[in-house]
Amino acid sequence: MFVQNDRYPDLVCVRAVKPLDGLRVHVVFTDGSERDMDLDPYLRGPIFEPIRRNRKLFASVYVDPDSETLTWPNGADIDPDVLYYDGNPPWAVEDPPGEPFVMQTAVAAGSAAR
């Protein structure tokens, strides 16, 4: 069973990636949309430092076939939701105070697709 809710849109993953100049890539998402993205804001922290410093390592980015996300040989990856929504996906934003989140619809597995 999965939850159908406007706050939890369909999961969009990465279908393809091509390194460009600098810290930019061309990304194709599973919904068919494409965009050129500067990954500089996302490449922070110890696991990403070697990627930032080494162009050859940056250019070795690939799409992991299991997680369908950008991945590097050193184990670093970037969540496709973060890329697709340019930062925080809609469900990562806190509810306003006094407005608790309420599930709207539960749909049984095997029911009609949305």
Task: Provide the token pair at 72.
Answer: 């590097």
Task: Provide the token pair at 101.
Answer: 């989140």
Which ranges constitute the DSSP H helices of the chain? Answer: 49-53, 55-58, 80-84
pLDDT in tens, 82-102: 898 876 545 445 555 555 544
Q: What average pLDDT does this structure show over 16-28?
A: 97
User: What local confidence, expressed as pLDDT, does residue 112 receive?
Assistant: 43
* CA atoms of 27 and 24, how far apart (whole Å): 10
pTM score, whole prediction: 0.70
pLDDT in tens, 37-80: 999 988 989 999 999 999 999 999 999 999 999 999 999 999 89
Residue-range domains of the chain with CATH: 11-89 (3.30.2020.10)
Q: Which of 72, 70, 67 is nearest to 16 (CA)?
A: 70
* CA atoms of 101 and 93, how far apart (whole Å): 11
